[in-house]
Amino acid sequence: MPDENQLVNKARPYSNHSVFFKKNYTAEERAATLEKVGLNVFFFPSEMITGCDMLSDSGTTTMTNEQWAALFRGDEAYGSNKGYFLLINRIKETFGPEFFNDPTLNKPNAFIFHQGRACEDALFSLLGKTGAGLIIPSNGHFDTTQANIEANNIKAVNLFSEELHNEASNSHFKGNMDIAKLKNLLDEKKEKIPLIYLTITNNTGGGQPVSMANIKEVADLVHHYNIPLFFDACRFAENAWFIHEYEPDWQTKDIKDIVKQMFSYVDGFTISFKKDGLTNMGGGLFLKNNGLFLKKYPTFPDTLLNYQIIKEGHPTYGGLSGRSIMTLVSGLKTVTKQEYLTHRISQVQEFGQTMHEQGLPIVMPVGGHAVYLDINKFFTGTAMKPEDFGGISLTAILLAAYGHRACELGYFAFGSYNKKTKKEIFPEVNYIRFAIPRLKYEKQDLDSVAEAMLLLYKNKDKIPPINVTYGRDLPLRHFKARFEFNE
Ligand SMILES: Cc1ncc(COP(=O)(O)O)c(C=O)c1O
């Protein structure tokens, strides 16, 4: 008898527990609404999305029934709620005991926030006061991370790996930090660098993972220069899955052990639990007990505690309700399960593979949470110019015509406008990101997006340029700007 391993189509490792039916809207209705909000897809009502909402994988996870049950058991006490103690244990189990000191020791090193960017502001606002002309390098800062660094007069530098732009390379770890560039920077400016960041996986750099070898190499190098290393750890479990899958030394190891090993190299991390916490809200800043960061900045925990109490809440709940803490405790348990991660990332990879086979120019190999379309390559052979912001136009048409929402993360989102020269400054990367919410969509949904994109690709010369009608010169402009088609 043939066995189940011969099946090409394997059933998902979960079943739907609860669903909702979408409302019906026509392309004309969507187009009219999109026009009213100045073609800014962030302002388009999600209720009107008839296809897939791929604007973000952040906070959009479908929770498990265990999480919904945990939510009911949430304890909303102002101080030391039940979930807080469960969270302490879960953080220690997941990342290592050194990242959450027992509260009775009165040596705080773990700070709960309402989301990732709040942790970033806490960290960088304190670091910004330690000196002038500081620099924080990364393998790829996320947009809010970069904005929080710059808001505190620190320079954010991206040291993307050369592999990222090398199509011929089939490296599975294009999210790595470029070691040669890092070494040069350290040699020239080490006294200006308070810490180094590694974003796992590298959201700005095509959602690509970082290898264990690169994490270790970066850690050894920066520690040699007496500089602490931090993770932006939003997608730590997805990154661990890639290490398990593609790095020879780790293929027989358990995901949980890989995660522990990854975190053994860092002195602290910030995390948005809205991704691999599998929860809808939450964030944290964790400083390794006896790590280099705490050795260099021993007074930070006290200042952070004051910051947290003033801005978020008592340290035992931070910025979170008791019920959110309960869903997080449960989510962190699910996220490191091999069967969950294999299904999750295979779904993203299969979606990317379909786009790739259709000839759409996407970043290959596909990363863990999203598929990234190269806008410049998409418009090759058309009259579209960089300052026409073809990515904005493409996402607007995809939403209006086919009901699927994706996000431009390229020349508009990461670029800026110099008012003096009246010129755009373009970033290194120009992508549209199709982020896939966790546990939400089925193959049929994603196939529909790929089909819509193929139709647009075949008609790419009919996609009009964009005029920016508002917000070209604002910081974080993609969240606020308004546009019109230049037809
Ligand atoms: C890599 C990375 N860092 C930080 C953040 C910020 O997290 P939050 O949205 O919870 O503020 C995000 C959000 O998408 C992210 O992808």
pLDDT of residue 460: 98
Looking at per-residue pLDDT, the higher value among 32 and 365 belongs to 32
Binding site membership of 318 for ligand 1 (Cβ less than 6 Å)? no
- Determine if ligand 1 sits within 6 Å of the CB of residue 142: yes
Distance (angstroms) between ligand 1 centre and the Cα of 475 equals: 17
Check residue 1 and give its pLDDT: 80
- Looking from the CA of residue 283, the nearest atom of ligand 1 is 10
The pLDDT of residue 143 is 84
For residue 232, report the distance from its CA to the centre of ligand 1, in Å.
8
* Residue having the nearest C-alpha atom to atom 5 of ligand 1: 116
Please, which residues bridge with residue 181 across strands?
none
Report pTM: 0.95
Does 2 score more than 80 pLDDT? no
**What does the pLDDT read at residue 166?**
84
d(CA 298, CA 290): 10
Q: Which of 42, 58, 113 to probe ligand 1 with, by most ligand atoms within 8 A of CB?
A: 58
Least confident range from 66-70, 128-132, 168-172, 296-300: namely: 168-172
161 lines ligand 1 (CB under 6 A): no
User: What's the rounded Cα separation, in Å, for the pair 241 and 422?
Assistant: 45
Gap from CA of 266 to ligand 1 centroid (Å): 19
d(CA 49, ligand 1 centre) in Å: 23
Token digits for 135? 């620099």
The pLDDT > 90 percentage for the chain reads 92
Does residue 199 have its Cβ closer than 6 Å to ligand 1?
A: yes
Closest residue by CA, ligand 1 atom 14? 58
The residues spanned by each domain of the chain are 18-50+338-485, 66-335
Least confident of 156-165, 177-186, 401-410, 462-471: 156-165
C-beta 60 within 6 A of ligand 1: no
Closest C-alpha residue for ligand 1 atom 13: 58
The minimum-distance atom of ligand 1 relative to the CA of 115 is 10
Tell me the per-residue pLDDT of 30-51, one tens digit each, with 9 for 90 and over: 999 999 999 999 999 999 999 9
The structure tokens listed for 354 are 């379909």
Q: Which stretch of 103-107, 263-267, 274-278 has the lowest confidence by average pLDDT?
A: 103-107
Q: How many CB atoms lie within 10 A of CB 178?
A: 20
| pLDDT level of residue 168 (50, 70, 90 thresholds) | confident
| pLDDT attached to residue 10 | 85
- Site to substitute for ligand 1 among 201, 234, 312, most atoms within 8 A of C-beta: 234
239 lines ligand 1 (CB under 6 A): no
Mean confidence (pLDDT) of the chain: 96
> Ligand 1: which residue has its CA nearest to atom 3?
142
pLDDT at 237 exceeding the cut of 90: yes
**CA of residue 322 relative to chain centroid, distance:** 25
Closest residue to atom 8 of ligand 1, CA basis: 116
Distance from residue 283's CA to the centre of ligand 1 (Å): 9
Q: Which residues contact 171 (CB under 8 A, 6 or more apart)?
A: 161, 163
Is the shortest distance between the CB of 116 and ligand 1 below 6 Å? yes
The amino acid that residue 240 corresponds to is A
Give the distance (Å) from ligand 1 centre to CA of residue 8: 35
CA distance 224 to 429: 31
Please state the rounded mean pLDDT for residues 423-438.
Answer: 94
Q: In sequence order, what are the beta bridge partners of 284? A: 112, 271
CA angle 135, 137, 139 (to 5 degrees): 165
Phi, psi for 388 (deg, rounded to 5): -85, -10
Residue 144's pLDDT is what? 87
Residues 401-411 have a mean pLDDT of 97
Residue 338 in tokens: 């091999």
What are 261's two structure tokens?
């090993």
**Which pLDDT value is given to residue 261?**
98
pLDDT of 410:
94
Which residue type is seen at 367? Answer: G
Q: Cα(77) to centroid of ligand 1, in Å?
A: 28
Domain 66-335 part of CATH 3.40.1360.10: no
203 within ligand 1 shell (Cβ under 6 A): yes
Checking if the pLDDT of 374 tops 90, the result is yes
pLDDT at 463 over 80: yes
Tell me if 114 CB under 6 Å of ligand 1: no
Q: Give the residue among 318, 328, 263 at the shortest CA–CA distance from 59.
A: 328
Q: What is the pLDDT of residue 384?
A: 98
Asked if pLDDT for residue 153 goes beyond 80, the answer is yes
Q: Ligand 1 pocket: which of 113, 141, 142 to mutate (most atoms <8 Å of CB)?
A: 142
Asked whether 272 lines ligand 1 (CB < 6 A), one says yes
Q: Does domain 18-50+338-485 have CATH number 3.40.309.10?
A: no
Q: How far is the CA of 462 from the centre of ligand 1 (A)?
A: 34
Per-residue confidence at 211, pLDDT binned at 50, 70, 90?
very high
**For the chain, what is the HEC assignment?**
CCCHHHCCCCCCCCCCCCCCCCCCCCHHHHHHHHHHCCCCHHHCCHHHCCCCECCCCCCCCCCCHHHHHHHHCCCCCCCCCHHHHHHHHHHHHHHCHHHCCCHHHCCCCEEEECCHHHHHHHHHHHHHCCCCCCEEEECCCCHHHHHHHHHCCCEEEECECHHHHCCCCCCCCCCCECHHHHHHHHHHHHHHCCCEEEECCECCCCCECCCHHHHHHHHHHHHHCCCCEEEECCCHHHHHHHHHHHCHHHCCCCHHHHHHHHHHCCCEEEEECCCCCCCCCCEEEEECCCCHHHHHCCCHHHHHHHHHHHHCCCCCCCCCCHHHHHHHHHHHHHHCCHHHHHHHHHHHHHHHHHHHHCCCCECCCCCCCEEEEEHHHHCCCCCCCHHHCHHHHHHHHHHHHHCCECEEECCCCCCEEECCCCEEECCCCCEEEEECCCCCCCHHHHHHHHHHHHHHHHCHHHCCCEEEEECCCCCCHHHCCEEEECC
C-alpha of residue 25 to centroid of ligand 1, in Å: 31
**Confidence band, pLDDT 50/70/90 cuts, at residue 221:** very high
232 CB less than 6 Å from ligand 1? yes
Q: Which residue has the least CA distance to atom 7 on ligand 1?
A: 116
Query: Using one digit for the tens of pLDDT, what is the confidence trace for 51-110?
Result: 999 999 999 999 999 999 999 999 999 999 999 999 999 999 999 999 999 999 999 999
Ligand 1 pocket: which of 274, 324, 433, 436 to mutate (most atoms within 8 A of CB): 274
CA of 341 relative to ligand 1 center, distance in Å: 20
Judged against a pLDDT cut of 80, whether residue 129 lies above it is answered with yes
Tokens 């193929």: give the residue.
454
